Structure formats: structure tokens, C-alpha cells
Chains A and B, each alone.
Chain A
Amino acid sequence: MQRLFKLALVGLIIIIITGIVSGCWDRIEIDKRLFVFGIAIDEPKSVQKKIEELEKRMKKELKQKGNEEPTLSEVEAKLAELEDPSFEEIIERTERRSKGQVRLTIEAPIVRNLAGSDGGSGGGEPSWSPATIASSPFEALRQLTTRINRRVYLGHLKAIIFHEKLARRGIQGLLDFFERDNEVQRRVKIFVSKKSAKHILIRKIPVEQVTSTYLTGILKNKIETSRLADIDIGQLMINMHTNAGSLVPRVRDGGTDLKVAGSAVFRGDKMVGWLGEVETRAALWVRGDVQGGDVVVQDPEEPGKETTYEIRNAQTMIKSRVKAGKLIFEVQIGTEGNIAEVGSDTNAMNDKYIKAIEENVEEHIEGRTLDVIKKAQQEFQTDFFGFGEQLRRHQPQYWKKVKESWHQEFADAQVIIKAEVNIRRIGLVK
């Protein structure tokens, strides 16, 4: 009996202590959190530019009031009146640090307007995009809490968009927080934008309420076109730390829509250049990541007209060997597919015709892939195809030797491409 009381007492103490000591750590009700779906990271406008802009505006206003030649002191007085908090902040920050600043914009859904089904909603903005300028993403997020009444939560982060300028400067420092933080998932998608990333994020798309969801949705369409190579933060960080090359999808503002196609080439954490849509697909052929898409080739019967081959599946095999001190990669691309469109008035149910198309497609694939490999070797000197990984797996001894200077080594390697195309179906009509 006494033992029992002792046990009960211990249990009671444990319950009380867990209640008090833990302080319900981490407990924030779901409706008290601000979920961040997307983050855009830009380089802020230079301070000088902003001040000039403001001064111009002030001058204009003063002129409108009749003051033809406003003196500098008058403009400054007007500026002080303005009390632009962001302006003051900028001034203050410039004094503190003059380099390495980022403008961070978050996209947070307004769940009340998003859910839609419950009565009364539907109207209203589906998302909200506050922005701030700070010296690092973490500081920016903390700074944002002075503008947001809820707790910022990154567990549902879907996309991070980088501005090209920042990407070229290197994203190691910018990504570090997202790698370290326990809330951020490893499947956050990364994008690079040529122009302002903020403007991508705040572009409202009618079909999808949240832009970040729209962007990641487009990534899923890669099996339809293979014109983009998606990458998530986990993979990018692995590539970053191993100084490997990566392809990061490019996002472009299309005025009424957003276009995700083509890619930014990264070597380690630095962006080195762009690949177009077709080049991206060529790169994917080599990587073996093509899952679908179309290849338009000359119609063999009627030159000038075009016939389309639809990719149903594709595999790539890479073999590596060293011959006379020169590294040689043999890439075998095999694909199966259908004839999707016939441009000419030909009976497609014809062995010779099908063979001819197959040859044309093979030629097309080989040509394009060789082009992109040349570009990678000469222009970027970056291996974003995974040749290095192939070497590491199959020739570890050799890999150890060339590991450190792999990208130069790759630039000198010889790559042989061989494509094999099999047309399996021609569609419902001849």
C-alpha cells in the first residue's frame, strides 16, 4: 500500500513538473500562426538610388506647389515630413552596414479567404506579402515579426525565389538558415528569377489563389514537357556542399501568368549562367530525367512539313572510361514513344516511314545534347549532368584524383552520345 502511494506521488510530481517546466513549449494554436508559403529574396534597391528617387519626388511636389527652384534644405525638410519608415530604416541600416543586404518578401495565405467553403468568405485577397530589408534572411524574418501579429511558421514553405544577381553572388549564406532551421522541410522548391523575385511572388494568378502553390504546381508538369529541371532545397544543398553543378528552374513574369521553364546553372552555390528551355531538355536527356515531352522533327516524306514524336519514357546509361589519360563518357539514350502529329499527308502505318522518323529523332536528340554538353564544358565549365557522380560510383580510384578539380577535368572530357528511338504507336488513324 505504501509502495502504491509512493508510486502515485511520483506520478503526480512528474505530471505537475511536465506541465510547469515545459511551459507548453512550441504550443501555438494553428490560428495564431502565420504560414509562409513562399519567400522571394531580392537585392534591395541601392540606398543612393532610393534617396535620389525620393528627392526627385519631393522636388516635383514642391514644383507643383509653385516653388520653381527648391533648395536642398527645403527638400530635406519635406523629406522629414514624409516620415517614411522604410526610408528611415534604410538610412539607419546603411549607416550600420553597407553591403550584403537582402530584401525578403514572404507570401502568407489569408486562410479565412482561402478556405472558401465556409460561408461569408470568397471575397478578399487570398494572400498577403509583407516585405522587409535586412542583412540576412533570418534577420529579415525576425524583423517581419514587428509587422505581423502572429508567429511566422515555415513548416509549409513551398518555394524560395532568388533574384539572379544574388544567385550569381552565391546563395550559400542565404540558404544556410533554411538548412539549419528545424521547421523548413527539405522539399522546398528553389527558383531563380531574372527580374525582381518579389514581383513574381506578388503576381496574382486567377486560377490559383496562392502564387507559391501555382509555381510548384507548374513544376509537376515537367513530365509533360521536360523543359524544366526542378530541384528542392535538400538536393541543392547537397550539390552546394559537394561543389557539384545543379540546374535550378527559371521563373519569368509573363504579364498575366508566370512561366517556369529553362534553368539557371549553378556551380556549387554560385550561378554561372542560363540554359534555355530546349537546352534544359537536352541536359535532362543526358541526366536521364526526361519523363515525357515532344520532339518536333522534319517530316521525312515532305521536307518543310513537321512531324512530332511524343516521348513516353526514356532511359540513359552512362559509361565512363579513361583512354590514354583522356576521360571518355559514353552516353546511351534510349526512348520509346508515339507519333503524336504527322505534318504531311502520309500513311504513317509504314515501316520505312517510321524508321525514317526514328532516325530524325535520334539525330535531333544527339545534336541537341552535344550542343548543351559543349556549352557546359566551354561556357560554364560546370558538370550539371551527374558525370561526376557516375565516376564516383564506378571508378572511385580515378574520382579521388580528380575530385578537387572536377569541373575543369569535365571540361576536357570527351562525351559520346548515342540515341536509340523506338516508335511504338502511331495513334488511332493511319
Chain B
Amino acid sequence: MWKRIKKRFKKLLKREAAGEKNDKQAPKLAKKLAKNKEYLEQLLGDNADISFREFNIGGRDDLKGMLFYVDGMIKKAILNEQILTPLMHRVRETELALELKKSNLLQIAESFIVSVDSVNKTDSFDELVLSVLSGDTAVLFDGAKEALIISARGWESRGVQEPQTESVIRGPRDGFTETLRTNTSLLRRRIRDPNFKIEAVKVGRRTKTDVSLAYIKGIANETVIDEVKARLDTIDTDVILESGYIEQLIEDSHYSIFPQMQTTERPDKTVGSLLEGRVAILVDNTPFVLIVPATFTQLYHSPEDYNERWIAMSGIRFLRFVSIFIATLTPALFVALTSFHPGMLPTELMVSLAATREGVPFPAFIEAVIMEITIELLREAGIRLPGPIGQTIGIVGGLVIGQAAVTAGIASPVMVIVVAITAIASFITPDYSVSLSIRLIRFVYMILAAVLGLYGIMLGILAVLIHLVTLKSFGVAYLSPLAPYRISDWKDAFIRGPIHLMTKRPEELKPTDPNRQDIERENNKWGEEDND
């Protein structure tokens, strides 16, 4: 442990030193506009979408300026009306026109002429270019060693829509989009706490992707925040296209089959996690937000659990946990029971199973593998195909697996039921990443069942449990509150306790402020008060 921290620390030091060196060598803007333009043109001139627009200020020949932007990433109306028009024409109608000189041009333009909300100054080419490539507009003036960076970003983007992967019946319908700023606004609208922090980082050598770290100061554990920052800092790759890249680069165990972070498209889910003391990682260009630390039980929670009343939702949540076992074990159990332990089946069931299997040419294991692979093929085909064709695939698949395989004598009818139940159970999983792991584990269990029967299944379960209890996500045990055993967290693990009793945040996250509510409301007393 100490060694690792030391190593990381050394790395950090090295990087900082390297950064300072870079700063010294970083090219600065020159006073002459022509020189700056030459530099920029050399860097970016051969790009079709990069525009340089030179103009004269206030109709005077000696005062020159230049706009530098990426076409398609800016709002042209702002550019024309708030920057170009005032600089070129309107400035002549004011008294400022007399004061304008080469030396104070930048100063006056920033303070009096350019009427855009967000304006920054920079003297570094690196920063200038990065801003422009991010969608900002740069205004360079002849004679100024700095340039104005005006934020007038605007590009085609998807609006806020209902999330496709996590729909709910009761609950907000908005989902994250591909624009980071929209996403942060969706969070900010829900938390009006000044302690809600959104920190920005840039990741990716070439993509320079904006990544934001969202947490609530005073709730989230500081060590977790620091750990997330430190891990983000270690990322050294040239491309980040999706939050999955970051997930795979900073997760605890790269060789585990289970996802150690929660991904979600839903702002309400994210906010709920933030208020539990977790940290969210938002990545530009993807609607999927990472939530850390994640526990296994949390991956089986849906935001709807909290929106509906607790008794019904506890039942449904319990059902989801049952579905884990159905989705992973049913085909394996079928293979084990029919091939190894027919004595464990009730006699009548055994008779009908044996009768349906009569005439099936394959052993139960091969039969199960054929059917499971078929349904996985169908599922994959359905995902990749456009909607209408996907439906056709569903019908064809249903007929093929359901009817034809049985009549052709390739599979027994019971196997069709087993496969169908397994598929349905794996669809219940709210988190797509977990359902992928479970789909894969199913095949391992089937092999174990075919080789060693129930004994093999037991060994498999033990192996997975051993793996799960050793797994950690940002210092939090993956299987908590099961192991380590924390009874107080069970109120929101396998069931969803009544909200008025959930006075504490999950203990497993070691939140700085563990209290959600100060009073534990016994029963609603307001009815009685009215009577008094």
C-alpha cells in the first residue's frame, strides 16, 4: 500500500516538474497581428473549418483585428451582432472612437465594446488554440500581446430526452445528453446547495476531453474525492470517447468480470448517489455518467424504487435480487438435475422432464448451450438492427426457438422454458454492465454443471463469492453491506426501507455528514394535533 502511494506521489512530482518545463517553452502571442496569424495559419491553416477574419476597427486603417474560430462550433449571430458590428461600426458613433489607440485597444474592447458575457484573456498560444478548438471564438488585436477568448459556443446537439436505457414509470423523464454543460445544469437544477461542486479536468492527450467531477462537499468522503482525482490524474491516453474509457482506466480490478462503477443516463439517479456521499464523473460527448464508489447491491437499484411507496418497491427490489440467481443458475441447474441428480426432482416433474427429453439427440448440456447461444445471437442481432427489422428478428427468433426447435426434435420444450426464463430474468437487471457479466457467467456455470453437477455449481458459486468479497470499488467493499456486514445499510440494500426511517446515509461510504434527517419521525402525528 505504502509503496503504491509513494510511487504515485513520485509520478505526480515528476509530472509537475515536466509541466513547469512546458510552461517555459510554451509559445506566447506576439505584438504583431501578422506574426500571430502566420503562426496560427501554420498550425491550423490547412483546415477547411477554421476561419480567420481580419477587419479594421472603427473604420480606421491603423487599428486591425482578427477573428479566429471553428466554423460550426460557434453561434454566428453573437459573433456578428455583439462582436463584429460594434467593433467595426458602432464604435464610431461613440466618444470612445477618439480614445482608441493600438495600446489600449484590447482594454477598451473588452470593457466597453464586446458585449458578450463570458470573455477571457490569454497570452498563450496553447490556451488560445485549445479554447478555439473547444468552440470558443478568439479576437486578436494588432499591437496587443493578449487575445480575447469569447465564449459563444453553439453547435448541433441532441436535446434533453428520456433516457433509452433506464426508463421509469414514475419519475422525471429527462436524461443526460452529449453536452457536458447541459448535463451539469441538469444536476445543478436539482441541488441548490453551495457545497455542490463541479470540478473540471481535461483528459486525453489528443481529444482533450472535458471531464467533470461532481460531489457534494461535506457529504462525500474526502479521501474518496482525492482518490478519484488522483486516479483521473494518472490517465495518460490520447483518446477518451466515452465514459467507459475512463471507467476501464481507473477501475480497481481490470480483470474482474463485474463492473466496479455505476453508469447512468439519469440525473435523478446521479443526484441521489451524490447525496448518499458518492462522486460522479461526467464526461463530455456521452450521456453516460460514472458513479463511484459502487456496490453490488446498488447496481440493482432503480430510481423508481424511491418514487413509489416502500412496501411495493421493496417487493420489486427483492424480485430483482431473485432474478440474479434465476438468470445465472437456471440452465446450469437444469443440466445438473437432469444429468446428475434426477432423484432431487419431484417424481411427477421428473417423469414429464424425462418424457420431453425422449427423442432429443443431444445431452442436456449441449441442448442448453445451443439454445442459450441462439438467444444470445438474437439479442445481439436485435440490438444492432434498426427498430422495425429488430422486431422481425424477435418474431423469427421466437418462432425458431420456441416452436421449430421443439418440433424438429433439437430441443425439449422444457429447455425452451428454461431459456426464456433466463432471458427474461437477465432483462430485469437495471444496470446493463452487470447484466452483461451475468450473461457470461451463466455459461461458466453451465460448463461446471455439465462436468461436476450440483457440486460444480456450488464450487462456481463459492468462487464467485470469494471474488466478490475481495473486490473493492474506491476503497468500499463491493459486497457491502453483506460483507462486511453492516446491518444499518440493509434498510436500503435488498429492500427499500420507508424514507422517514432512513435518517442515515450509507455507512459503507463513510460520509463526512452521516445524517440525512435529524428527527426520526415515529408515526405521522399531524392528524392527532388537529384533533387537540
User: Is the beta-carbon distance between B342 and A35 smaller than 8 angstroms?
Assistant: yes
Complex contacts, B343 vs chain A, CB 8 Å: 153, 155-156, 183, 185
Complex contacts, B352 vs chain A, CB 8 Å: 111, 115, 117
Q: Interface stretch among A20-28, A59-67, A77-85, A276-284?
A: A20-28
Q: Which residue of A lies closest to B338 (CB)?
A: A30
Complex contacts, A117 vs chain B, CB 8 Å: 352
- Given the known interface contacts A35-B342, A155-B342, A158-B347, the answer about A29 and B357 at a Cβ–Cβ threshold of 8 Å is yes
User: Is the beta-carbon distance between A30 and B451 smaller than 8 angstroms?
Assistant: no
A162-183 vs B, Cβ < 8 Å mask (1 yes, 0 no): 0000000000000000000001
Within 8 A of A (CB), among B241-279: 255
User: Is the beta-carbon distance between A30 and B353 smaller than 8 angstroms?
Assistant: yes
Complex contacts, A259 vs chain B, CB 8 Å: none
User: Is the beta-carbon distance between A156 and B342 smaller than 8 angstroms?
Assistant: yes
B339-372 vs A, Cβ < 8 Å mask (1 yes, 0 no): 1111100010011111111111001100000000
User: Is the beta-carbon distance between A115 and B342 smaller than 8 angstroms?
Assistant: no
User: Is the beta-carbon distance between A29 and B339 smaller than 8 angstroms?
Assistant: yes
Within 8 A of B (CB), among A112-159: 112, 114-115, 117-118, 121, 153, 155-156, 158
In the complex, what distance in Å separates the CA atom of A158 from the CA atom of B456? 29
In the complex, what distance in Å separates the CA atom of A401 from the CA atom of B413? 63
* Distance (whole angstroms) from the CB of A8 to the closest CB of chain B: 9
User: Is the beta-carbon distance between A109 and B451 smaller than 8 angstroms?
Assistant: no
Complex contacts, A121 vs chain B, CB 8 Å: 355
Asked if A33 CB lies within 8 Å of chain B CBs, one says yes
Query: DSSP majority for the B interface?
Result: helix
Asked if B452 CB lies within 8 Å of chain A CBs, one says yes
- Given the known interface contacts A18-B452, A24-B451, the answer about A111 and B354 at a Cβ–Cβ threshold of 8 Å is yes
Asked if A427 CB lies within 8 Å of chain B CBs, one says no
Complex contacts, B353 vs chain A, CB 8 Å: 30
Asked if B450 CB lies within 8 Å of chain A CBs, one says yes
User: Is the beta-carbon distance between A114 and B338 smaller than 8 angstroms?
Assistant: no
Asked if B430 CB lies within 8 Å of chain A CBs, one says no
Asked if A19 CB lies within 8 Å of chain B CBs, one says yes
Asked if B453 CB lies within 8 Å of chain A CBs, one says yes
* Distance (whole angstroms) from the CB of B393 to the closest CB of chain A: 29
Asked if A429 CB lies within 8 Å of chain B CBs, one says no
- Given the known interface contacts A29-B357, A115-B356, the answer about A18 and B350 at a Cβ–Cβ threshold of 8 Å is no
Complex contacts, A185 vs chain B, CB 8 Å: 343
User: Is the beta-carbon distance between B347 and A30 smaller than 8 angstroms?
Assistant: no
Select B450's contact among A27, A30, A114, A153, beta carbons within 8 Å. A27
Within 8 A of A (CB), among B47-106: none
User: Is the beta-carbon distance between B451 and A114 smaller than 8 angstroms?
Assistant: no
In the complex, what distance in Å separates the CA atom of A183 from the CA atom of B363? 22
User: Is the beta-carbon distance between B355 and A118 smaller than 8 angstroms?
Assistant: yes
User: Is the beta-carbon distance between A118 and B340 smaller than 8 angstroms?
Assistant: no
User: Is the beta-carbon distance between B357 and A30 smaller than 8 angstroms?
Assistant: yes
Complex contacts, A35 vs chain B, CB 8 Å: 342, 350-351, 354
Complex contacts, A111 vs chain B, CB 8 Å: 351-352, 354-355, 358
In the complex, what distance in Å separates the CA atom of A114 from the CA atom of B355? 8
* Distance (whole angstroms) from the CB of A24 to the closest CB of chain B: 6
Asked if A31 CB lies within 8 Å of chain B CBs, one says yes
Please tell me the number of chain B residues within 8 Å of chain A, measured between CB atoms: 27
User: Is the beta-carbon distance between A112 and B340 smaller than 8 angstroms?
Assistant: no
In the complex, what distance in Å separates the CA atom of A91 from the CA atom of B456? 48
Complex contacts, B354 vs chain A, CB 8 Å: 30-31, 33, 35, 111
In the complex, what distance in Å separates the CA atom of A35 from the CA atom of B357? 14
* Distance (whole angstroms) from the CB of B136 to the closest CB of chain A: 43
Asked if A4 CB lies within 8 Å of chain B CBs, one says yes
Q: Which residue of A lies closest to B406 (CB)?
A: A118
In the complex, what distance in Å separates the CA atom of A111 from the CA atom of B351? 6
In the complex, what distance in Å separates the CA atom of A28 from the CA atom of B364? 10
Complex contacts, B340 vs chain A, CB 8 Å: 26-27
* Distance (whole angstroms) from the CB of B226 to the closest CB of chain A: 27
Q: Which residue of A lies closest to B367 (CB)?
A: A29
User: Is the beta-carbon distance between B255 and A29 smaller than 8 angstroms?
Assistant: no
* Distance (whole angstroms) from the CB of A118 to the closest CB of chain B: 7
Complex contacts, B339 vs chain A, CB 8 Å: 27-30
* Distance (whole angstroms) from the CB of A163 to the closest CB of chain B: 25
B447-464 vs A, Cβ < 8 Å mask (1 yes, 0 no): 000111100100000000
In the complex, what distance in Å separates the CA atom of A114 from the CA atom of B350? 11
User: Is the beta-carbon distance between B351 and A109 smaller than 8 angstroms?
Assistant: yes
Within 8 A of B (CB), among A177-205: 183, 185
In the complex, what distance in Å separates the CA atom of A26 from the CA atom of B358? 19
A1-45 vs B, Cβ < 8 Å mask (1 yes, 0 no): 000100000000000001100101011111101010100000000
In the complex, what distance in Å separates the CA atom of A86 from the CA atom of B341? 34
In the complex, what distance in Å separates the CA atom of A19 from the CA atom of B365? 14
Complex contacts, A33 vs chain B, CB 8 Å: 342, 354
* Distance (whole angstroms) from the CB of A109 to the closest CB of chain B: 6
User: Is the beta-carbon distance between B453 and A30 smaller than 8 angstroms?
Assistant: no
Q: Which residue of A lies closest to B413 (CB)?
A: A118
In the complex, what distance in Å separates the CA atom of A27 from the CA atom of B413? 21
Q: Which residue of B lies closest to A121 (CB)?
A: B355
User: Is the beta-carbon distance between B451 and A31 smaller than 8 angstroms?
Assistant: no
Q: Which residue of B lies closest to A115 (CB)?
A: B355
* Distance (whole angstroms) from the CB of B66 to the closest CB of chain A: 53
- Given the known interface contacts A29-B338, A29-B364, A112-B355, the answer about A4 and B255 at a Cβ–Cβ threshold of 8 Å is yes
* Distance (whole angstroms) from the CB of A254 to the closest CB of chain B: 25
User: Is the beta-carbon distance between B453 and A26 smaller than 8 angstroms?
Assistant: yes
User: Is the beta-carbon distance between A24 and B342 smaller than 8 angstroms?
Assistant: no
Complex contacts, A4 vs chain B, CB 8 Å: 255
* Distance (whole angstroms) from the CB of A402 to the closest CB of chain B: 41
Within 8 A of A (CB), among B437-495: 450-453, 456
Q: Which residue of B lies closest to A109 (CB)?
A: B351
Complex contacts, B453 vs chain A, CB 8 Å: 26-27
In the complex, what distance in Å separates the CA atom of A4 from the CA atom of B254? 11
Complex contacts, A118 vs chain B, CB 8 Å: 355-356, 413
In the complex, what distance in Å separates the CA atom of A24 from the CA atom of B364? 13
- Given the known interface contacts A22-B452, A112-B358, the answer about A153 and B255 at a Cβ–Cβ threshold of 8 Å is no
Complex contacts, B350 vs chain A, CB 8 Å: 30, 35, 156
User: Is the beta-carbon distance between B364 and A30 smaller than 8 angstroms?
Assistant: yes
Q: Which residue of A lies closest to B254 (CB)?
A: A4
In the complex, what distance in Å separates the CA atom of A114 from the CA atom of B348? 9
* Distance (whole angstroms) from the CB of A356 to the closest CB of chain B: 49
* Distance (whole angstroms) from the CB of B337 to the closest CB of chain A: 8
Complex contacts, B342 vs chain A, CB 8 Å: 30, 33, 35, 153, 155-156
Known: A29-B357, A30-B357, A153-B343; 7 extra A-B contacts, CB below 8 A, are A24-B450, A27-B453, A30-B364, A31-B360, A112-B355, A155-B343, A156-B343
Q: 13 A-B contacts, Cβ less than 8 Å apart?
A: A28-B339, A30-B350, A31-B358, A31-B360, A35-B351, A37-B347, A111-B354, A112-B358, A114-B355, A115-B355, A156-B342, A156-B350, A213-B347
Q: Lowest 9 CB-CB distances: which A-B pairs, in order?
A: A155-B343, A115-B355, A30-B338, A31-B357, A111-B355, A111-B354, A115-B352, A30-B354, A27-B339
